[in-house]
Structure 1
Amino acid sequence: MSLDYLPWARPESFDALPCVRDEHQDLTYAGFAERVEAAAEQFAEHGVGRGSVVAVMLPNRVELLVSLVAAWRLGAAATPVNPVLTAHEADYQITDADAVLVVNAGPGAPDGGRTAIAVDELRRTPTGGPLPAPDTRHEDLALLVYTSGSTGRPKGVMLDHANIDAMTSQMAAAMKLTGDDHCLLVLPLFHVNAICVSFLSTILAGGQLSVLGRFHPERFLATIEELRPTFFSAVPTIYAHLVSLPETVRHDTSSVRFAICGAAPASKELLTAVTDRFGFELIEGYGLTEGTCGTTVNPLGGPHKLGTVGTALPGQRLAIMGPDGELLPVGERGEVVIQGPNVMRGYLNRPEETARTLDGGWLHTGDVGVLDEDGYLRIVDRIKDMIIRGGENLYPKEIETALYEHPAVLEAAVVGAPHEVYGEVPVAYVAPAPGGTLDADELRAHCAGRLTKIKVPVAIHVRDALPKNPVGKIDKPALRALNNAAAAPQAPAPAPATSH
């Protein structure tokens, strides 16, 4: 491992090549390295050094990438902060990470009471001030990426440069990246997917990166036609919006040789619709932040198995584990566990949770899956999402798959709702495709023709759109909260007023 994604590890022959751009600037490899050096000087003047942490709270833009790499230039780590967090949420992350410096939007932006540099004041040209020689090591902490906090306060996932080096090398190999590749980045850069897959894997191969500030379906396709990227990575929600555009919306997407779908389960119907409409190869993958993003992917060029998330990336070991800790044979359902150099160091300052998650030398994902005879993984569901109805285990993903088979369903999510007799029962939330309408009774009949009676949702709620978490996944905790609130005992109605 050589950390070749770092500017100071690249050969001079890369200097004049296009590197990164956003809507306001376009940098070569030499230009990006110069910006990193300038920011590193400025960071050092504010006390950043080996072992420090720099918090970066910015929307998608080149300066976010510059700030991450500038921290690494000094042997420090970076913690990217979702720029839409409230001050309370952002201050928690900044404080928990013990950041010594915050790069943010400027006055009024959260800083956790720490020294802050406004993005517009970020130094662009080196002054020649004293800086130590680059000495980035594999064991250095590189990223503190905070989980979404769906089961409590967000946790800082510690990823070192050995983790990142392994992940970028594995992804670049799996995607067959070369210097001719050009990635269009649309996912948020506070997430490890955008950092490792879109940014660092592309730079490792000597390719170029175009950063979008926000996603709009028609504008996204127009940007593909304009910039001619060769690949991009996105979540199912983005693909659902793209295929829902009117047939009259047409743009040239022939430059795209493949796209990646990850971060949340996608239906077979959606994957097929994307390929049929746009013509590029769509490969579904699977991973988690604790594994530095990716663990499996359907092989580029095939063979693909719809309904699976592909096979393990080279260098990773994937297995299915039973409740007793024994590894299960092909075809049996159990928890997905992972080993490899991409597995996190642990959770920051949470030794007990780290021990549970890394128990027995395996990363315990909390996902239920099945491996077939060819090593392809099918994700059944999240362990914590499983609905136990009268002692029967129901997997929401199976019910969601049935709902997605209805042509008018754009989004679907199934959660457990409290029930006095059965403990839990399945309840569905759905959103229609643009211009479409959904009828709850019709959908229940649709499910009844595909599922056994106990799996048919007892209620189906039609909404204009389903809530999303910051990464773009459907927010099931929010839906569970709706169910729990609906099931909570109601205060007695006040007695009617009487007159005398």
Structure 2
Amino acid sequence: MSLDHLPWRRPASYDDRPCVRDERTELTYAQLGRRVDAAAEQLAARGVGPGSVVAVMLPNRVELLVTIMAAWRLGAAATPINPTFTASEADHQIGDSGALVVVATDPTVVQGDIVVLGVDALATTPAGTLPAADTSTDDLALLVYTSGSTGRPKGVMLDHGNIDAMIASMGEAIAIRPDDHCLLVLPLFHVNAICVSWLTPMSVGAQLTVLQRFHPVEFLRAVETYRPTYFSAVPTIYSHLVALPVDVQPDVSSVRFAICGAAPAPPELFAAVEARFGFPLVEGYGLSEGTCASTCNPVDGVRKPGTVGPALPGQLVAIMAPDGSLVPNGERGEVVIKGGNVMRGYLNRPEATAETLGDGWLHTGDVGILDEDGYLRIVDRIKDMIIRGGENIYPKEIENVLHSDPSVLEAAVVGGPDPVYGEVVVAFVSAAPDSPAAAVDVDALLERCRAELTKIKVPVAVHVLEALPKNPVGKIDKPHLRALVAAAGVTTGKGV
């Protein structure tokens, strides 16, 4: 383990290299190190030390990165909180994590007696009072909270060894190098942004530019201005980019590849991005419990549309039958993972930890198939599976058919209650950008489904929404859609 992403472990030769910037601040590696030490001194004065937890409730900005590393400088862990959370949501994460200090934009938003430090009060010049750093791979580094699609969010415990393994795995897969430059647009309360966009380039002395939010035109303007070599984003972002008017022709020649992850995307989207912008778009797959990513289509090599690529270096991805045996390539089962990136467990949740890690494999809850070359195709979530009259139906197959219609931006399929079959297929779609919801021809979508799917997979209803609901990390919120179906009884008809 190298821990080369930590400022106190970096080579002195990095000192004057450009390190990180946002719209307010630009720092070299040496300047970042000093800012980290200054913030660490403040946290130490408030009682933070080895084993403590620091909560960081900030939008994307340089100070968020500084605060996380300042906690690490003291042997503490950091838990990044979605800055748009309500007080109840934030209080749950702060209380569950046992955070000692919260760093926030607005100190008044945090309730209770916890110590709150306003981001504008963070020191920038260290006094030199800190002892030498002593960071171990076994030290807890991050408490990343799951999106909470079932019950209250759980804290995923990631230690420095997990992060180091993830950086090494991803860095080798994308051939990260010192002259790379990542444009970070995903929210930094998510481990994807932390590991893929931030720490991986930091480990080799590359550059990072942090954007606070995404807007299609502003994002492309940032690409032209900062000249990044790669970025990572979710399918919705790429859908918005390819939907821009044809006269929007940005100079994206600096980008050598882009990564798509966090949610399933249809193969048509990848083809559209590559045709429109000219750089390869590679799809990856992983979980917070695996410190972000476990597979990815290669940047230089065979990319198979419809798959999320082979296992990343240093990881083992397999398919498991319900009886716990591993099945051959070509057979369907649960995706399971081994590697140094697999989490320590869930904070204070021994039963959930045992359920997910008990047999030595990380159980993902995803249904997948490995092909003859070891490329993984995700069929669906086990919990999303619809059982209609005893037949298993996987929503992703139906969603892919709906996505293939050019009028559809996003699609989600859930099970609706039915007195005869138990469950039936219900679909929700949103219209492509700049198109009214009325432009979606529901009859044509149903006819497309009838032509490409067996009868039991054809939705009993297709509902057109202005936008599909999302959870805090940008994934379509299927529990919300299921609740809508259950509450409104929208299992029949064309729309709601």
Q: TM-score, normalised by structure 1?
A: 0.96
Letter of the structure 2 residue corresponding to residue 471 of structure 1: V
Alignment of 1:141-156 (within 5 A): 141-156=140-155
State which drifts further: 253-262 or 168-177: 168-177
Following superposition, the deviation at residue 359 of structure 1 comes to: 2.2
SS at match of 2:126: coil
CA spacing shift, 1:115–1:435, aligned 2, 3 Å: closer
SS at match of 2:107: coil
Following superposition, the deviation at residue 471 of structure 1 comes to: 1.2
2:350 corresponds to = 351
Aligned residue pairs, count? 488
Following superposition, the deviation at residue 249 of structure 1 comes to: 1.2
Following superposition, the deviation at residue 362 of structure 1 comes to: 0.3
Letter of the structure 1 residue corresponding to residue 115 of structure 2: T
Task: State how far apart, in whole Å, the 2-side matches of 1:269 and 1:244 are.
Answer: 13
Report whether the alignment pairs 1:452 with 2:451: no
CA contact (8 A) 1:94 1:111 kept: no
SS at match of 1:385: coil
1:373 corresponds to = 372
Task: State how far apart, in whole Å, the 2-side matches of 1:192 and 1:111 are.
Answer: 25
Task: State how far apart, in whole Å, the 1-side matches of 2:87 and 2:430 are.
Answer: 31
Letter of the structure 2 residue corresponding to residue 442 of structure 1: A
1:360 corresponds to = 359
Following superposition, the deviation at residue 12 of structure 1 comes to: 1.0
**1:297-348 Cα deviation digits (max 9, x unpaired):** 0011120111100000111111000000010011000000000000000000
Task: State how far apart, in whole Å, the 2-side matches of 1:248 and 1:468 are.
Answer: 30
Alignment of 1:487-498 (within 5 A): 487=489
Letter of the structure 1 residue corresponding to residue 142 of structure 2: L
Letter of the structure 1 residue corresponding to residue 52 of structure 2: S
Following superposition, the deviation at residue 112 of structure 1 comes to: 4.7
Q: Which runs of 5+ in 1 are unaligned?
A: 489-500
Following superposition, the deviation at residue 124 of structure 1 comes to: 0.8
State which drifts further: 248-257 or 284-293: 248-257
Following superposition, the deviation at residue 132 of structure 1 comes to: 2.0
Report whether the alignment pairs 1:422 with 2:424: no
CA spacing shift, 1:249–1:304, aligned 2, 3 Å: same
CA contact (8 A) 1:104 1:111 kept: no
1:495 corresponds to = none
CA contact (8 A) 1:54 1:77 kept: yes
1:412 corresponds to = 411
CA contact (8 A) 1:90 1:112 kept: no
1:107 corresponds to = 107
Task: State how far apart, in whole Å, the 2-side matches of 1:112 and 1:209 are.
Answer: 35
**1:171-199 Cα deviation digits (max 9, x unpaired):** 11111111100000000000000000000
Letter of the structure 2 residue corresponding to residue 231 of structure 1: Y
Q: Which runs of 5+ in 2 are unaligned?
A: 491-496
Following superposition, the deviation at residue 210 of structure 1 comes to: 0.2
Letter of the structure 2 residue corresponding to residue 77 of structure 1: A
Task: State how far apart, in whole Å, the 1-side matches of 2:222 and 2:415 are.
Answer: 40
Following superposition, the deviation at residue 442 of structure 1 comes to: 1.4
**1:55-91 Cα deviation digits (max 9, x unpaired):** 0000000000000000000000000000000001101
Task: State how far apart, in whole Å, the 1-side matches of 2:113 and 2:182 are.
Answer: 36
1:9 corresponds to = 9
**1:121-145 Cα deviation digits (max 9, x unpaired):** 01111123x2221001000000000
Task: State how far apart, in whole Å, the 2-side matches of 1:32 and 1:445 are.
Answer: 57
Report whether the alignment pairs 1:157 with 2:156: yes
Following superposition, the deviation at residue 231 of structure 1 comes to: 0.2
CA contact (8 A) 1:370 1:378 kept: yes
Report whether the alignment pairs 1:188 with 2:187: yes
Q: Who wins on radius of gyration, i.e. which is larger?
A: 1
CA contact (8 A) 2:21 2:27 kept: yes
Task: State how far apart, in whole Å, the 1-side matches of 2:418 and 2:216 are.
Answer: 40
Following superposition, the deviation at residue 21 of structure 1 comes to: 0.3
**1:223-250 Cα deviation digits (max 9, x unpaired):** 1011100000000000001001111112
SS at match of 2:71: helix
CA contact (8 A) 1:367 1:383 kept: yes
Following superposition, the deviation at residue 446 of structure 1 comes to: 1.1
- Structure 1 outlier segments of 4+, above 2 Å: none
CA contact (8 A) 2:55 2:102 kept: yes
SS at match of 1:323: coil
Task: State how far apart, in whole Å, the 1-side matches of 2:249 and 2:471 are.
Answer: 30
Identity across the alignment (%)? 69
Alignment of 1:34-433 (within 5 A): 34-128=34-128, 130-433=129-432
Following superposition, the deviation at residue 111 of structure 1 comes to: 4.9
1:468 corresponds to = 470
Following superposition, the deviation at residue 106 of structure 1 comes to: 2.6
